[in-house]
């Protein structure tokens, strides 16, 4: 299993599949469709059925059941794109044995994957890592998930004596820009439930995520010559800074953890005449989430009470906490926990401090918790994946399907 799993992954990361939120296309970049077509060919070569690739880059296939029993259809989903945060072009993966010492990714310039900076590396001493060359991300998010799903499917093909129901696989574009589930045809996918293989460290099992919204606050100013500005000029940048300082200082990503929500200023652009602040709003609790949105509106009104008609805000919900959709079907969490234990993994149930395609799919009536894929330090040059973590993720998929068949 290991050789095929690693070979798949090393092949997949060579495809440049960065998504781009500015194109307004689906998939957002042509490289994702190139990769999807290659995966489609692999699915054909494996002999899977019901293979479909639509114009939006959504690839589905089925491993047919080998039992006459009535068994639920379970799906496994992973995304093909990599994050826009760093280049995914010309990825040069390398396998190294981690002995507890810093790993030199590049000599010139010198880039080092250092356990003093990333202490969680010490959980994997003695294991083989797949690392970057220091000038790109790796792509374990989420090509590790794709490799694990297809390697598990291949395991079942090589072990026909092990019974399983219909197993559906789904690979989608544009997860990293929040659009992975937008054109996902849940009815066509045809599953009772599914799992995204898109988590991080070994053992992660997640069915809670942030409620999420974006907020764009625009401030209008009035520019006149600074030499004659008294009682005339309104500097929109100064007003925007005033607004930003009115939000709770400690409710930002760098001061929060666990279930704590935040306001996150992600961009600012301005001049005297006009300034725009863009925020993301996050909270696991739905009531606190709604309160945070109201606070943005309240502060805009406060600004306008001092500077009439200066501030306007646009708030858009992005996704919601999937917990409310998973709790009625907690047996799918129990199955995943048992599968991990069968695979020699200790389940670590924790909330996602972010979003996942599974959240949106759960609200489209496809309950879809998230399982670890093994990657660490995603979205940057220090990304790595321990090979045993990928092996355990693959075994977890196998064990889930075996339990569902039982």
The residues that are catalytic are 81, 175
> Which tokens hold the place of 178?
């929040």
Smallest CA-to-CA distance from 258 within 351, 349, 184, 148 is with 351
Residue 232, class by beta-carbon neighbours within 10 Å (0-12 exposed, 13-18 middle, 19+ buried)? exposed
d(CA 22, CA 268): 17
Phi-psi map region of 306: left, alpha, beta (phi>0 left; psi -120 to 50 alpha): alpha
Residue 90, class by beta-carbon neighbours within 10 Å (0-12 exposed, 13-18 middle, 19+ buried)? exposed
DSSP per residue, 280-329: EEEESSHHHHHHHHHHHHHHHHHHHHHSTT-EEEEEEEEE--THHHHGGG
d(CA 282, CA 116): 30
Asked if 120 and 345 touch (Cβ cutoff 8 Å), the reply is no
Element (H, E) at 169: strand 167-172
> Which tokens hold the place of 177?
């820009």
């Amino acid at each position: 299993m290991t050789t095929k799993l690693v070979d798949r992954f090393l092949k997949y990361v060579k495809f440049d599949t960065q998504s781009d939120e500015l194109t307004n296309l689906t998939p957002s970049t042509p490289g994702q469709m190139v990769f999807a077509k290659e995966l489609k060919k692999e699915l054909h070569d494996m002999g899977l059925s019901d293979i479909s690739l639509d114009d939006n880059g959504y690839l589905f296939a089925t491993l047919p059941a080998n039992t006459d029993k009535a068994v639920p259809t379970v799906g496994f989903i992973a995304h093909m794109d990599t994050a826009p945060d760093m280049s995914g072009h010309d990825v040069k993966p390398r396998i190294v044995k981690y002995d507890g010492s810093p790993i030199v990714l590049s000599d010139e310039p010198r880039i080092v994957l250092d356990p003093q900076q990333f202490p969680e590396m010490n959980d994997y001493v003695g294991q083989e890592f797949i690392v970057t060359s220091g000038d790109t991300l790796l792509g374990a998010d989420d090509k590790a998930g794709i490799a694990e799903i297809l390697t598990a499917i291949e395991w079942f093909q090589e072990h026909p004596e092990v019974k399983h129901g219909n197993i559906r696989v789904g690979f989608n574009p544009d997860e990293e820009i929040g659009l992975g589930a937008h054109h996902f045809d849940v009815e066509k996918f045809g599953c009772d439930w599914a799992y995204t293989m898109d988590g991080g460290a070994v053992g992660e099992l997640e069915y809670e995520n942030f409620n999420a919204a974006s907020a764009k606050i625009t401030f209008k100013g009035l520019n006149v010559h600074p030499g004659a500005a008294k009682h005339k000029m309104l500097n929109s940048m100064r007003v925007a800074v005033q607004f930003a300082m009115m939000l709770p200082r400690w409710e930002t990503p760098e001061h929060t953890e666990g279930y704590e929500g935040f306001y996150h200023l992600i961009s600012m652009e301005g001049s005297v005449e006009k300034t725009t602040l863009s925020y993301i709003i996050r909270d696991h609790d739905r009531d606190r989430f709604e309160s945070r949105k109201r606070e943005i509106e309240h502060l805009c009104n406060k600004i306008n009470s001092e500077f009439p008609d200066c501030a306007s805000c646009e708030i858009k919900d992005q996704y919601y906490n999937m917990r409310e959709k998973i709790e009625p079907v907690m047996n799918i969490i129990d199955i995943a926990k048992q599968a991990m234990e069968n695979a020699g993994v200790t389940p670590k149930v924790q909330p996602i401090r972010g979003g996942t395609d599974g959240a949106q799919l759960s609200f489209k009536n496809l309950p879809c918790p998230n399982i670890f894929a093994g990657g660490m330090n995603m979205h940057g040059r220090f990304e790595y994946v321990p090979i045993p973590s990928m092996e355990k993720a693959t075994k977890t998929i196998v064990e889930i399907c075996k339990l569902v068949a039982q």
